[in-house]
Amino acid sequence: LAKTTQPISMDSYEGQEVNITCSHNNIATNDYITWYQQFPSQGPRFIIQGYKTKVTNEVASLFIPADRKSSTLSLPRVSLSDTAVYYCLVGDPGYSSASKIIFGSGTRLSIRP
């Protein structure tokens, strides 16, 4: 099973770019990398998913090096509302994929004015 390692917490300021790195040394060939965001008292919310190189959407960018043993979630110009826990997951989509998906403890991001 591909386990992920993330920093427990990070602090930043409004308007800054924040990069959260996740290590997944045992990632398998068919695994995708997915990031979720969770606010207090809410369920996690999908942010971005990728397999290799770079993926960008309206919320974030995801950078994946060629060896795929790590990935970096990049949040441009953060605001106070980006304060949340961010989870990095690796998993192989499919009917029996759930047992291969591990959420881990996530990174608690705190944004200050």
Partner 1 sequence: DVKVTQSSRYLVKRTGEKVFLECVQDMDHENMFWYRQDPGLGLRLIYFSYDVKMKEKGDIPEGYSVSREKKERFSLILESASTNQTSMYLCASSLVRGGQETQYFGPGTRLLVL
Give yes or no for residue 58 binding partner 1 (CB under 8 A).
Answer: no
- Tell me the CA distances in angstroms from 79 to 17, 52, 59, one per residue in order: 10, 28, 12
x/- mask, partner 1, residues 15-54, rule CB under 8 A, reads: -----------------x-x-x----xxxxxx--x-----
Nearer to partner 1, 40 or 113 (CB): 40
Segment 79 to 98, residues that bind partner 1, using CB under 8 A? 87, 91, 93-98
Q: With contacts defined by CB under 8 A, name the span among 13-21, 57-65, 71-79, 104-112 that binds partner 1.
A: 104-112
Which residues does residue 50 pair with via DSSP β-bridges, in sequence order? 33
How many other C-beta atoms are found inside a 10 Å radius of the C-beta of residue 73?
26
Sheet with 53-56, edge to edge strand ranges: 18-23, 70-75, 61-64, 53-56
Is the CB of 56 or the CB of 97 nearer to partner 1? Answer: 97
| DSSP per position, 33-91 | EEEEEE-TTS--EEEEEESSEEEE-SS-EEEE-TT-SEEEEEESS--GGG-EEEEEEEE
How many chain residues are in contact with partner 1, going by CB under 8 A?
24
Least distance (Å) from partner 1 to the CB of residue 22?
Answer: 13
- Rule CB under 8 A: which residues touch partner 1? 32, 34, 36, 41-46, 49, 87, 91, 93-99, 101, 103-106
